[in-house]
Amino acid sequence: MILPDFILKSRQNQIWTESGLDTLKECLDKKHFKSYPYPIEYRYNSRGFRDAEWPDDIEQLQNAIWCVGDSFTVGQGSPLEHTWPYILQQQTGRRTINVSLDGASNKWIARKIKRIAELAPKIIIAQWSYIHRSELDDDEKSDEDRRLSHHDDKLNNKEWWETLIDQVHDIERSKKQTRVIHSFVPNFADDADILVKWEKIKGTTWPDLPNNLTEFNNLPDSVVDELTNFFKLYTTFENYYKLNDGLEYIPEIQVLDRARDGFHYDRLTAQTFVGCVTELLGRSR
């Protein structure tokens, strides 16, 4: 078996009708959950991923588009046909390989990308998860059991995330045949972490972070500029990308619809995301 360590044991050959937040008990909006019009089935392949069986042929795997992420890539709360890897496969006519796990951290995503890169695939799309997540270093445990909701590293969340990006970018530079496109789950930056940083750096005349759009609009222009620059740095990390030549990324997309669980996005947002991906793929590097 190619990539024999890519196994989610708890999901191998399973068929579920609910998963994680996508249950009546755990969902964010029970009314929305009950009125959701599409049937949902989580059908996992022999490796435990929500995907068809993977090819055993190296060339086919190299030509496939590898989609790596967390529950947004799994398509939590949506039918398979509404997920962005599925839509991307339909629109490009190229096989996609879905490597995703609900609750996955960026450390898990980076770890998987490093292994995938050993196959020298042409395209990997990383949809980075929330920056506060991590995983245990105990490789004797399954991927499912290694998940942590918060990391305990001494680095702050932004610096920790950047180290992972650098590791992936180093792989891309060393394996020039592999193209990595970076993207993000909605609101992937940790709001609490942002608040702590703002309190540390703000000047004596700076305001508290605004709680809503009305408060933001009432701020002086100079303060708005400060806040805008701050959020560009700590929320989208756009400045980080601009300083690193060769990094291709898709900015955070606007959420247009909700999946059954009321948290994840659904087909319209996935289609918008895929449109951004295909547009980027159409450009030369």
Q: What pLDDT, in 10s, does the model give residues 23-39?
A: 999 999 999 999 999 99
User: What is the predicted pLDDT for the residue at 224?
Assistant: 67
Residues 275 and 155 in one domain: yes
- Burial, 256: exposed, middle or buried (Cβ in 10 Å; 0-12, 13-18, 19+)? middle
Q: Among 199, 218, 236, where does a domain finish?
A: 236
Q: Residues 164, 85: one domain?
A: yes
Residue 150 has pLDDT above 90, yes or no: no
End-to-end CA distance of the chain: 32
pLDDT mean over 80-92: 98
Q: 218: pLDDT confidence band, cut at 50, 70 and 90?
A: confident
Q: Is the pLDDT of residue 246 over 90?
A: no
Together in a domain, 58 and 138: yes
Average pLDDT, stretch 127-150? 89
Do 168 and 31 share a domain, yes or no? yes
Residue 218 lies in a domain: yes
* 212 shares a domain with 198: yes
Q: Are residues 228 and 270 in the same domain?
A: no
Is position 3 within any domain?
no
More confident residue, 177 or 39: 39
Q: Mean per-residue pLDDT for 193-212?
A: 61
* Residue 224: φ, ψ to 5°: -60, -40
- Are 209 and 268 contained in the same domain? no
Query: Residue 206: inside a domain, yes or no?
Result: yes
Asked whether residue 138 falls in the same domain as residue 64, the answer is yes
Query: What's the domain count of the chain?
Result: 2
Residue 231 or 27, more confident: 27
200 with 172, same domain?
no
Q: What range defines the domain where residue 126 resides?
A: 9-189+238-281
Tell whether 40 and 178 lie within a shared domain: yes
What is the reported pLDDT for 209? 61
Between 162 and 107, residue with greater pLDDT: 107
What integer pLDDT is reported at residue 92 of this predicted model?
97
23: in domain: yes
* Residue 4 lies inside a defined structural domain of this protein: no
For the chain, the average pLDDT equals 85
What CATH number is associated with residue 126? 3.40.50.1110
Residue 64 placed within a domain: yes
Mean pLDDT over 259-269 rounds to: 97
Q: Is the pLDDT of residue 222 over 90?
A: no
83-105: b (≥16 Cβ within 10 Å) or e: bbbbbbbeeeeebbbbbbbbbbb
pLDDT greater at residue 241 or residue 142: 142
In terms of pLDDT, which residue wins out, 229 or 155?
A: 229
Q: Verify that 113 and 214 share a domain, yes or no.
A: no
Mean pLDDT of 175-204: 71
Asked whether residue 272 is assigned to any structural domain, the reply reads yes
Task: Look at residue 125 and tell me whether its pLDDT is greater than 70.
Answer: yes
For residue 1, tell me if it sits in a domain. Answer: no
Q: Is the same domain home to 55 and 160?
A: yes
